[in-house]
Amino acid sequence: MLQNKKQIVMAVVLTLILSVAGIGAAFAQDSIDNIPGSGWWTGTQIQNVGTDTATLTISSYHKDDPSKDAVTGQIQINKDASKTFLPSDLNLGAGEFQGSATVASNQPLRAMVNTTNQNAAGYGVPGGRAVAQYRGVNNPATSLNFPLAKNGHYGKYTTFYIQNAGTAAANISATFKLGGGECTINKNNVGANRMVVISPQEPGSGCPSGNNTGLGAMSVTSSQALAGVVLEHGTENPAVGLQAVRGFAPADADATVYAPIIKSEWYGKFTGLQVSNAGGSAANVTVTYKGSDGACKGQQFQSQANIPAGQSATFVHLVSGGLPIANPLPAGCLASATVTGGDQLVAIVNEEWMSSYLAGGGNGGFPASTTYSGFAANSATDRISLPLYKEDHYGAGTGLQVQNVGNAQASNVVLTFIQSNAPGNSYKTKPQSIGAGASLTFLDVRKRADLWDGPAMPSTVKDATGVFAVVVTGDQNVVAVANETSYPFNLGLPGQPPMTLDSNNYEGFNLTPPAQ
């Protein structure tokens, strides 16, 4: 397998967690090695962000059984284009596979991974609605921080998938700081490129559980570089909801963090902004919101909190009283946020339906939730890659939220959509304007004849032709989140058909031009 990798020039090695990839597999509901239910599988979208055609191979590593390791043949992806890989494309063979992967290429790559139990493409289970997306890791680190961990907190749990992305076997140590106390879980002699599953539910862990006592954060360390993702889930079978976010390396922390999508009772949805202080002293944190649409459009709001070292604070965007930190936003507000204070901040954003909205028949009573990570100011650039965007692709659609994180008005933000099944087809928008700190949403773009500079995206784009990679450029630094859900975007309003997909999203990749 190593010889296969060396047949090409490795400009980059990309690590992926195939967290619960199963081909026709049924995982036990009570198993701590997997999220509950059955039919879990992963799809991966890889984008070439280099200057020439990429030639790549994907090596997969079973977490327990090296005899099930696999490697693909050499695969080519055009410049700026992307390609989808299902489990069958990775030569994983028949039966169950759970593990991790590396991607070796002669061009720089970016990737996102989709984990789901949806009944599609010959995978999944009837009634499976859960789906989550997260980014592949280009820069592993010897320590990772996860701002949110749950162990039976109002029926929610977190399971962590940690890959040894180093060159030798490693001992991995995970420390949970929960409301009821602290616990540590050690995993020893984890082979290079392989992953382990860590859960505060593990027998003998001693980790606190329950409402609030089972809520906190987790950090993981090793002498070898690590990549990791956390999946948040309930206990239902089949699962109808899943959330995912990557672990934060030290380089991901900064004194300023951006969040492009904040919702305050926006069509029945709200967000919780979880800010973690990874520094050595307490931080006086300020969150500045800029209204993008609805009741807060064009307005600015602020909220503050003091966060001790190593701890987190949650800003919940509900108008109802009794919250530990008051929500300054009105109901019906879509906004972006900038977090400042301290010197080592990281953040994630959770989005959910309001319980009162579901009880009233919104979204057919089905819960849906999603998570994305905030963007450190030190990572922001004027060029973004997004490997996966959908225009009415077999009942799924994507909305892109682009935030201007520069100090001045952006007047030349351009999006280029590259069709995945025909990379020679690309569609470029006219320059867009976005205020400093504000964000702009792009969705149903095939219906906007006024949007394009040159050939317009055909209005007939759909299903097999409705998958794109996207490149965003600007005259100010920008960040972006891709948010995928059911199409048409009926918002799950009472009296309308419920959305059939769990909400899911991933963070765009900031690039240093021309590409790195």
Distance CA 135, CA 89 (A): 19
Question: Which pair of structure tokens corresponds to residue 412?
Answer: 């030349």
Which of the four pLDDT bands, split at 50, 70 and 90, describes residue 27? very low
Domain covering 380-511, topology: Hypothetical Protein Tm1070; Chain: A (2.60.290)
Range with the lowest mean pLDDT among 83-87, 284-288, 295-299, 384-388?
83-87
Same-fold call for 253-378 versus 380-511: yes
2: pLDDT strictly greater than 80: no
Residue 356 per-residue DSSP state: H
User: What digits encode the pLDDT tens for the residues 432-481?
Assistant: 999 998 999 999 999 999 999 999 999 999 999 999 999 999 999 999 99
Average pLDDT in the 123-149 region?
A: 89
Superfamily of structural domain 2-123: TM1070-like (2.60.290.11)
Most confident of 4-18, 104-118, 499-513: 104-118
In this prediction, residue 17 has a pLDDT band, given cuts at 50, 70 and 90, of low
Q: What is the pTM of this model?
A: 0.88
Q: Tell me what pLDDT residue 493 has.
A: 62
pLDDT of residue 408: 96
141-250 to CATH, choices 3.30.390.50, 2.60.120.560, 2.60.290.11, 3.40.640.10? 2.60.290.11
| Rounded mean pLDDT, 252-277 | 93
Q: Which residues contact 266 (CB under 8 A, 6 or more apart)?
A: 294, 332, 333, 334
What is the residue-averaged pLDDT of the chain? Answer: 87
Question: Per residue in 371-394, is it b (16+ CB within 10 Å) or e — as a string?
Answer: bbbbbbbebbbbbbbbbbbbbbbe
Q: Average pLDDT of 124-150? A: 89
What's the average model confidence in pLDDT over 190-209? 93
Average pLDDT estimate for 398-414: 95
Q: Residue 265 pLDDT more than 60?
A: yes
Residues 6+ apart with CB under 8 A from 91: 60, 70, 71, 72
CA dist 272 → 15, 35, 342 (Å): 29, 23, 20
**Does residue 508 carry a pLDDT above 60?**
yes
CATH placement of domain 253-378: 2.60.290.11
**Domain range annotation of the chain:** 2-123, 141-250, 253-378, 380-511
Most confident of 4-13, 356-365, 494-503: 356-365
Closest CA to 118 of 485, 491, 461, 492: 485
Whole-number pLDDT of residue 516: 40
Mean pLDDT of the region 95-111: 88
Task: State the pLDDT confidence band at 5, using cuts at 50, 70 and 90.
Answer: very low
pLDDT, tens only, 317-372: 999 777 889 999 999 999 999 999 989 999 999 998 888 878 877 677 777 788 99
The residue among 64, 84, 83, 230 whose CA lies nearest residue 145 is 230
- Other beta carbons within 10 angstroms of residue 368's beta carbon come to 27
For residue 191, name the pLDDT band (cuts at 50, 70, 90): very high
Statement: residue 491 has pLDDT above 70: no
| pLDDT for 8 | 27
